[in-house]
Structure 1
């Protein structure tokens, strides 16, 4: 019998709600994963603005959904087994809350539980430019055991569409928290070689 693995996906108010949606879509393709979705209040606003799917559509992608104020939810307890948690996208407000242990909602509480239990936690921080406070928060969560993974486009893979970029970024995030089933095709190590004249000219 296949072991069911619980994965928490949180969508916060930063731009890039499509990342969390794609992660949910990928996990839904594999029956051995049970997904737990938390949509923050700001995350709902961003989702409505950026995505063609409705909030109800996105909730249907998850096995279990929670309101951000449900501090008593199963994922808020360390006794509930969680394979990994991804905050996709992660706002700087959420980043700051996790960095300081300020667990005022279910997103920050579930993330805090992952840190204290030594479980994979990945934060797709979506902000630019970054000031010193942002960077210090990133250092703090990294020192606590989280993975900071800004959704930087992999242009070297020559994506054809925005969906290509989103899919690759979502797969990389899932692979990084140990869910290797979703890893994208590995890079073959080959780049188009520059002509000698281009190298001499510094182009």
Structure 2
């Protein structure tokens, strides 16, 4: 069984977290541990047609972002890795500088120190030099940066098509088999 920590921070783009959780919820050999910041909860309210209770029901375990004593805050708690989707620049900065003031940043720090897969889905534009330096710092320690940049070779027709492609990339990175999204098949 794969155990994946999913951090949702306060950037716009909650749709990506919702979609990923819905898709992972359908995979029987994946256990999800959800952590949401206060602003992630507010963005869910503003951006999605899903209640907090409905979203948390998609996760196997839900952790309080203020609980630095949670299981996912320890390297002895085995996971397959962590994804932060969407990742705000504040959260990225905290992780890049090992400033563990929340469970999201602490769990990411643990993921890095234990050399487990860490996926960052940054949601900001334009990116400043500081943003880029923090992302580069994380990439240098092994984090995979998967920004929500749409692909058009698959001729998306809906917003859901674009979101599916992002979830496909994240699940591919974790080696989770799935049958959605359109892949490049050559010309």
Same fold (TM over 0.5): yes
Alignment of 1:38 with 2:28, yes or no, is no
Could you tell me which of 73, 78, 82 is aligned with 1:81?
A: 78
Deviates more, 1:181-190 or 1:162-171: 181-190
Match of 1:117 among 114, 117, 120: 114
For residue 5 of structure 1, what is the aligned residue in structure 2? 2
Structure 1 residue 108, shift from structure 2 partner: 0.4
In structure 1, how many angstroms separate the alpha carbons of the residues matched to 2:81 and 2:66? 21
Task: For residue 145 of structure 1, report the CA deviation from its aligned partner.
Answer: 1.2
User: What is the CA-CA distance between 1:183 and the residue it aligns to?
Assistant: 7.3
2:82 is paired with a residue whose SS is strand
- Aligned residue pairs total 187
The equivalent residue for 1:195 is none
Measure how far apart 1:180 and its partner are: 4.2
For structure 1, list consecutive stretches of 5 or more residues without a partner in the other structure: 191-203
Q: Is 1:165 aligned to residue 165 of structure 2?
A: no
Local SS of the residue matching 1:160: coil
| Residue ranges of structure 2 left out of the alignment (5+ in a row) | none
Q: What displacement does 1:156 show?
A: 2.1
Which residue number corresponds to residue 68 of structure 2? Answer: 71
The question of 1:179 aligning with 2:180 is answered no
Contact 1:121 1:177 in 2 (8 A): no
The SS at the match of 2:116 is coil
Q: Give, in whole Å, the separation in 1 of the partners of 2:15 and 2:55.
A: 10
CA distance in 2, matches of 1:81, 1:178: 17
Query: Which structure would you say has the larger Rg?
Result: 1
Contact residue 154 and residue 183 of structure 2 kept, 8 A: no
Is the 1:175–1:183 Cα contact (8 Å) retained in structure 2?
no
Q: Distance in 1 between matches of 2:179 and 2:117?
A: 16
Task: Tell me the TM-score normalised to structure 1 length.
Answer: 0.89
SS of the aligned residue for 1:96 comes to: helix
Which aligned segments of 4 or more residues in structure 1 are displaced greater than 3 angstroms? Answer: 180-185
Is residue 119 of structure 2 the alignment partner of residue 147 of structure 1? no
Q: Among 135, 138, 162, which residue is 1:138 paired with?
A: 135
Contact 2:32–2:59, Cα closer than 8 Å, also in 1:
yes
